[in-house]
Chains A and B, each alone.
Chain A
């Protein structure tokens, strides 16, 4: 939609009026005022009618935004059989970022779901010309990701391992091979490269045009020069959109407004937060080289030099992601900023130097133009997808972080599936717009954060990096107290959590500089915290956890939870239940602990990043009953977790335990299965209690511990975590949590039918624990997550999390494995598959043997338990 940037609005004559595209054949997109992409088909057609075709008064879906993302959504919805789809574009189709983007479709993306989307986009664009007859400029050039240093090379090798899992071809190559593939690259300072033969270049406006043509062929109505002013809602449902040319009633609205998606989100009855912010982005176009560069020349991505280069009309197109980006449109669309958004050579200087260093022969090449093309970025470098919390039927797909072209195809497909089936066919939680809360949509925050995000696209990303800007959005009441005790912080969903505590006297400077794929320098610090957790007692501030209170006058609260939770919640008051909240497929929408505080009052504790997701899941399923009340009390309670054998002693001595609850409204939970003995207190007078705990605990050797210690403990205990190991596609049966499902009752709950079915059929994937052997903690690369798992030399799964276990003195990886399917249908996991097989974990191309386990380490010692485990396993196989 809002894509009439300065170029189009200036150059277009008012005579160009919106047209309805109902027949695919004769539609042409009209003149492109200053596009860099020219193709012979670009003739201003005589279709320009004098009367704009009126908007329909009704539609099922209204999509706002005629860029590549919006047209892709329209195309995929139409393909899935939707009718009455209206696409509105305030300027001309593809006149915004799409028209100016560089046209590279690469699968070199940081996370697997993004690689999948890019891979799908690639094959979609490849066949689009065939499907529509519209030329797209698709050339399968392949691409070269260069490494100037060993760390970069490692990160490329890790990427290669991940791509292998997905079956995407890629080769780790030597510098010499780079020069065979590309005539201009200077290889003297390279240590290696990754060759992605499947990557391609296209002409983005033409792809946009082809998608629009195909969509129009499927009956999508496209209206240009139509601005959406307002999105109307009633009772939390989208009802209509108001445009400058009248209103359209609709059930669904999709915000694909790119750069302007934030503003559009604000322009609805209930404001929808779309946390993205624009930055200027520059690339250079050269005139043809003396010896024109072949169109099939591979794309070069020199991330250490912060640049990319592709062949363009005999010359090159080269841009980059600089260290000091220029954020733009902070205050919305701003005439002043649009006017000043010109070529800025001084700003481009570092990238020009990097280009000439990489391709010295270009020095004599003449400049054609420096293009300034604003891109939108999000707070965590991932795009924003999905239904917005609180408004049914309002979907968003925006914030592409300069990969709009590579993602549009796949993201459009996932969103269309989401709207059709209620959820996409892949786990898109990392892209789900519900991962953000309102705090992350402040303009000040976004402006600062995107200045960090844009350079990050090409920064070397080492394990467990944290954002530096826009921190301290939410802190625990103990923040200052912990900070003075040496806490080092990480951020989750805007909440500050202590990673570990630097002991007094440690060299802080060297610690903060720790960035490595190998053993990190906090190793001993976390080790000491873990040791204390095992031998004495540690206190961990877990205030960041999401906490809800569900109460009702009668038993509505219990009824709701019994419906939503897999485990039985009809327990005596004061008991705690660990349970998943499953979707219809039996997959985890949330994994939480629920305390029955009173007969009709429940306290729900979920992971930190569930705050928005779980809220909207509960709200979605809550009956419209004024007697049933849900409250987010995350900020009201501080949670302290006491871990260790002496935890009970400390609790026993706390002076206020005997006090009445009115004096100290605190809540104890014994977390039996997590890290026994662990005790979580939810307290109101946090600082006071913390001080008390610390002083009482002194004689028991109490100390602070951070999340890294907790992580190590949970992973060696084989405890799966939602968002990391568990996702909406994982069922309790697949991760050995059958005992947390109320199969023995006849209470119906969401997902029950699917689980019963799965119990019958047997699971085709299983969560296992892998203990690395022959892995040198000091010298070998550390696992992270996303590493391929091999069984008897055959790929059988990927890891989802890993940590060093200080108890086992080994690395432990958690992950899912599934047996190879024999006849096309998935095969069931058998105990033999897990127990009899040589497992290996692939870390950046190097395979390490591993022992596969179904149960945590502590049970390995007891032979008796082991036999019982095997029995349990065969039980859940349903045999």
Chain B
């Protein structure tokens, strides 16, 4: 997520010179520093002196003409493909054919380092596959934690009572645990090591509670499981931040992240969404064209229901202040998020934690800063909105993307690009001889030429990479243009963020045969 949208810029302007890098692990502020004063920022509207406004959707600069530096096609490809990952569900296991054929995912950073995260895993103790994209703001710490932890919480919530008991007795007896998730990770998708013990203990407390609350033979349905997992992890993040011993988690809780997670089991698809990530289904119509079916609601100011919800949760006196300039309390763009305790804790708690925390916290003006008009916390929740969809044969794929994607391409366009890529339907007109006099030799020449052109366009092996190529490289005519691509990708780190956001995409392909129930 954009740091600008949250609270970063103010700190970067006011508190220049602090050893941010040391504090945050990431060099977030450092990178931001030179950016702001040079004021390359779009100045179209800046209604508030301190809080730079949201970048309106599609408000990025289009063609960066400051730079004449040009990338070669192989250089462009190496940038686009650096984070691409594909997973194919092994077929023909002789038992059941999966409803998911596999997925392609990719990320393109705009922030350095990237604040988006992605996760994908197969549940081993229960059935189903989990896929998620996470968009962090105010640093990547919260998104990172979600990418590591959230699926474990979901997997636990899905487990039947007996499996949980077995797990508990294995831990008690010091026996090795049978694996719960099989991760499908790109080498760049790392796990942090430092806090694993604490993560594990929190998780264990959670499953112990699940055991206490359920009786034998019981397990939560996917809807309840997702809901419970989201809320529980957010409350754990908050609780862990209140342990004074672990300073790092204070920062984690002060950063935030949105999550858009899909759980696919057979033909049941559940999407749990918190924030402004989005899940869109690609549906193939009778005539072969593709249409978009959105499975999540954005939690931001563009969603009237969300605005009404937030206004309804606070006294009428706050009606004007709770959502200002399309932001929560005039600060935060997504209206639901993990972490961000600044919008959840009472002022006393925030102060208390900061004072008892490690020394650096006292110096960190960002964390000390209390949002204006902060009267009736909490203002923010991580509770997801959950959608269920039964997969049909015409449902070909699911695109999970962070807002970086949806800001640049309309969902209909996204679905069209992916659909045509996956079905191999090229935009080019099929050749027909019709009534013309064409010789075999002429036809051969024509075909050779078409082949050469097509191979240029279809150089991606990964649908997500192909989509990013379009998202970043589309010119005003909607076609990928090497020059645009080259300029967008050669922007220096400190400028990239003005032209685009981090983009993270997971495209899951469904097995039409399975969903048709024709097979086996």
When distances are taken between beta carbons in the complex, the residues of chain A under 8 Å from B448 are: 349, 353
Does B513 contact A363, Cβ atoms closer than 8 Å? Answer: no
Q: Which residue of B lies closest to A368 (CB)?
A: B433
Question: Is A355 at the interface (CB under 8 A from chain B)?
Answer: yes
Does B518 contact A346, Cβ atoms closer than 8 Å? Answer: no
When distances are taken between beta carbons in the complex, the residues of chain A under 8 Å from B511 are: 444
Interface members, chain B 464-516 (any A CB < 8 Å): 511-514, 516
Interface-facing stretch out of B1-9, B90-98, B406-414: B90-98
Q: In whole angstroms, how far apart are the Cα atoms of A472 and B90 in the complex?
A: 10
When distances are taken between beta carbons in the complex, the residues of chain A under 8 Å from B393 are: 331
Which one, A340, A349, A474, contacts B94 given CB within 8 A? A474
What's the count of A-B pairs with C-beta under 8 Å? 96
Q: In whole angstroms, how far apart are the Cα atoms of A475 and B90 in the complex?
A: 14
Q: In whole angstroms, how far apart are the Cα atoms of A353 and B287 in the complex?
A: 32
Question: Is A614 at the interface (CB under 8 A from chain B)?
Answer: no
Does A365 contact B439, Cβ atoms closer than 8 Å? Answer: yes
Question: Is B432 at the interface (CB under 8 A from chain A)?
Answer: yes
Q: Which residue of B lies closest to A352 (CB)?
A: B444
* Interface SS of B by simple majority: loop
Does A356 contact B441, Cβ atoms closer than 8 Å? Answer: yes
Does A442 contact B441, Cβ atoms closer than 8 Å? Answer: no
Which one, B91, B288, B439, contacts A364 given CB within 8 A? B439
Question: Is B177 at the interface (CB under 8 A from chain A)?
Answer: no
Q: Which residue of B lies closest to A439 (CB)?
A: B94
Mask of B428-468 contacts with A, CB within 8 angstroms, 1/0: 00111100011111011001101100100000000000000
Q: In whole angstroms, how far apart are the Cα atoms of A784 and B518 in the complex?
A: 40
Question: Is B519 at the interface (CB under 8 A from chain A)?
Answer: yes
Which one, B288, B430, B431, B441, contacts A363 given CB within 8 A? B441
**Apart from A346-B450, A472-B92, 11 more pairs, CB < 8 Å:** A344-B430, A346-B430, A352-B443, A364-B441, A439-B94, A442-B519, A444-B91, A444-B513, A444-B519, A474-B94, A475-B94
Q: In whole angstroms, how far apart are the Cα atoms of A171 and B268 in the complex?
A: 62
Interface members, chain A 458-493 (any B CB < 8 Å): 470-475
Question: Is B14 at the interface (CB under 8 A from chain A)?
Answer: no
Q: In whole angstroms, how far apart are the Cα atoms of A284 and B439 in the complex?
A: 12
Which one, A286, A340, A344, A346, contacts B288 given CB within 8 A? A340
When distances are taken between beta carbons in the complex, the residues of chain B under 8 Å from A353 are: 444, 448
Mask of A317-352 contacts with B, CB within 8 angstroms, 1/0: 000000000000011100110001011111011001
Most buried by A among B287, B512, B518: B518
Which one, B91, B287, B431, B518, contacts A345 given CB within 8 A? B431
Most buried by A among B94, B431, B447, B518: B94
* Total count of chain A residues near the partner, CB < 8 A: 40
Does B451 contact A346, Cβ atoms closer than 8 Å? Answer: yes
Most buried by B among A331, A447, A475: A331
Q: In whole angstroms, how far apart are the Cα atoms of A353 and B448 in the complex?
A: 9
Does A445 contact B437, Cβ atoms closer than 8 Å? Answer: no
Question: Is A267 at the interface (CB under 8 A from chain B)?
Answer: no
Question: Is A724 at the interface (CB under 8 A from chain B)?
Answer: no
12 contacts between A and B (CB under 8 A): A331-B516, A345-B447, A346-B450, A346-B451, A349-B444, A356-B444, A364-B439, A364-B441, A442-B519, A443-B519, A447-B513, A472-B92
Question: Is B65 at the interface (CB under 8 A from chain A)?
Answer: no
Does A343 contact B288, Cβ atoms closer than 8 Å? Answer: no
* Residues of chain B at the chain A interface (Cβ within 8 Å): 91-94, 97, 286-288, 393, 430-433, 437-441, 443-444, 447-448, 450-451, 454, 511-514, 516, 518-520
Q: In whole angstroms, how far apart are the Cα atoms of A493 and B40 in the complex?
A: 68
- Given the known inter-chain contacts A331-B513, A346-B454, A442-B97, please indicate yes or no for A367 contacting B440, CB distance below 8 A: yes
Does A346 contact B431, Cβ atoms closer than 8 Å? Answer: yes
With both chains docked as a complex, state the minimum distance between the C-beta of B228 and any C-beta of chain A, in angstroms.
35
Does B440 contact A365, Cβ atoms closer than 8 Å? Answer: yes
Question: Is A362 at the interface (CB under 8 A from chain B)?
Answer: yes
Does B439 contact A330, Cβ atoms closer than 8 Å? Answer: no
Does A349 contact B451, Cβ atoms closer than 8 Å? Answer: yes
Most buried by A among B438, B447, B512: B447
With both chains docked as a complex, state the minimum distance between the C-beta of B100 and any C-beta of chain A, in angstroms.
13
Which one, A342, A362, A443, A473, contacts B440 given CB within 8 A? A362
Question: Is A570 at the interface (CB under 8 A from chain B)?
Answer: no
Does A336 contact B286, Cβ atoms closer than 8 Å? Answer: yes
Does B288 contact A336, Cβ atoms closer than 8 Å? Answer: yes
Q: Which residue of A lies closest to B91 (CB)?
A: A444
Q: Which residue of B lies closest to A369 (CB)?
A: B433
With both chains docked as a complex, state the minimum distance between the C-beta of A263 and any C-beta of chain B, in angstroms.
10
When distances are taken between beta carbons in the complex, the residues of chain A under 8 Å from B454 are: 346
The 4 closest A-B pairs by CB, nearest first: A363-B441, A349-B447, A345-B431, A442-B520
- Given the known inter-chain contacts A331-B518, A345-B447, A352-B447, please indicate yes or no for A363 contacting B440, CB distance below 8 A: yes
When distances are taken between beta carbons in the complex, the residues of chain B under 8 Å from A364 are: 439-441
Q: Which residue of A lies closest to B447 (CB)?
A: A349
When distances are taken between beta carbons in the complex, the residues of chain A under 8 Å from B512 are: 331
Question: Is A370 at the interface (CB under 8 A from chain B)?
Answer: yes
Q: In whole angstroms, how far apart are the Cα atoms of A286 and B437 in the complex?
A: 11
Does B430 contact A345, Cβ atoms closer than 8 Å? Answer: yes
Which one, B92, B450, B451, B518, contacts A445 given CB within 8 A? B92
With both chains docked as a complex, state the minimum distance between the C-beta of A436 and any C-beta of chain B, in angstroms.
14
Question: Is A366 at the interface (CB under 8 A from chain B)?
Answer: yes
When distances are taken between beta carbons in the complex, the residues of chain A under 8 Å from B438 are: 366-367
Q: Which residue of A lies closest to B432 (CB)?
A: A343
Does B450 contact A356, Cβ atoms closer than 8 Å? Answer: no
Q: Which residue of A lies closest to B90 (CB)?
A: A472
When distances are taken between beta carbons in the complex, the residues of chain A under 8 Å from B450 are: 346
With both chains docked as a complex, state the minimum distance between the C-beta of B65 and any C-beta of chain A, in angstroms.
37
When distances are taken between beta carbons in the complex, the residues of chain B under 8 Å from A444 are: 91-92, 97, 511, 513-514, 519
Most buried by A among B439, B450, B511, B516: B439
Q: In whole angstroms, how far apart are the Cα atoms of A336 and B290 in the complex?
A: 13
Mask of A422-461 contacts with B, CB within 8 angstroms, 1/0: 0000000000000000010011110110000000000000
Q: In whole angstroms, how far apart are the Cα atoms of A475 and B92 in the complex?
A: 11
When distances are taken between beta carbons in the complex, the residues of chain B under 8 Å from A340 are: 288
With both chains docked as a complex, state the minimum distance between the C-beta of B95 and any C-beta of chain A, in angstroms.
10
Q: In whole angstroms, how far apart are the Cα atoms of A504 and B454 in the complex?
A: 43
Q: In whole angstroms, how far apart are the Cα atoms of A330 and B439 in the complex?
A: 35
- Given the known inter-chain contacts A366-B437, A369-B433, A442-B97, please indicate yes or no for A473 contacting B444, CB distance below 8 A: no
When distances are taken between beta carbons in the complex, the residues of chain B under 8 Å from A366 are: 437-440
Q: Which residue of A lies closest to B451 (CB)?
A: A349
Q: Which residue of A lies closest to B454 (CB)?
A: A346
With both chains docked as a complex, state the minimum distance between the C-beta of A174 and any C-beta of chain B, in angstroms.
28
With both chains docked as a complex, state the minimum distance between the C-beta of A356 and any C-beta of chain B, in angstroms.
6
Q: In whole angstroms, how far apart are the Cα atoms of A443 and B97 in the complex?
A: 11
With both chains docked as a complex, state the minimum distance between the C-beta of A287 and any C-beta of chain B, in angstroms.
9
With both chains docked as a complex, state the minimum distance between the C-beta of B190 and any C-beta of chain A, in angstroms.
28
Does A355 contact B92, Cβ atoms closer than 8 Å? Answer: no
With both chains docked as a complex, state the minimum distance between the C-beta of A760 and any C-beta of chain B, in angstroms.
50
Q: Which residue of A lies closest to B511 (CB)?
A: A444
With both chains docked as a complex, state the minimum distance between the C-beta of B412 and any C-beta of chain A, in angstroms.
20
Does B447 contact A346, Cβ atoms closer than 8 Å? Answer: yes
With both chains docked as a complex, state the minimum distance between the C-beta of A353 and any C-beta of chain B, in angstroms.
6
Q: In whole angstroms, how far apart are the Cα atoms of A353 and B454 in the complex?
A: 17
Q: In whole angstroms, how far apart are the Cα atoms of A364 and B440 in the complex?
A: 6
When distances are taken between beta carbons in the complex, the residues of chain B under 8 Å from A348 are: 447
When distances are taken between beta carbons in the complex, the residues of chain B under 8 Å from A355 are: 440
When distances are taken between beta carbons in the complex, the residues of chain B under 8 Å from A443 are: 513, 518-519
When distances are taken between beta carbons in the complex, the residues of chain A under 8 Å from B437 are: 366
- Given the known inter-chain contacts A345-B443, A365-B440, A366-B439, please indicate yes or no for A473 contacting B92, CB distance below 8 A: yes
When distances are taken between beta carbons in the complex, the residues of chain A under 8 Å from B97 are: 442, 444
Q: Which residue of A lies closest to B438 (CB)?
A: A367
When distances are taken between beta carbons in the complex, the residues of chain B under 8 Å from A346 are: 430-431, 447, 450-451, 454
- Given the known inter-chain contacts A356-B441, A366-B437, please indicate yes or no for A336 contacting B287, CB distance below 8 A: yes
Q: In whole angstroms, how far apart are the Cα atoms of A528 and B518 in the complex?
A: 47
Does B443 contact A367, Cβ atoms closer than 8 Å? Answer: yes
Q: In whole angstroms, how far apart are the Cα atoms of A471 and B93 in the complex?
A: 9
When distances are taken between beta carbons in the complex, the residues of chain A under 8 Å from B430 are: 342-346
Q: In whole angstroms, how far apart are the Cα atoms of A285 and B431 in the complex?
A: 16
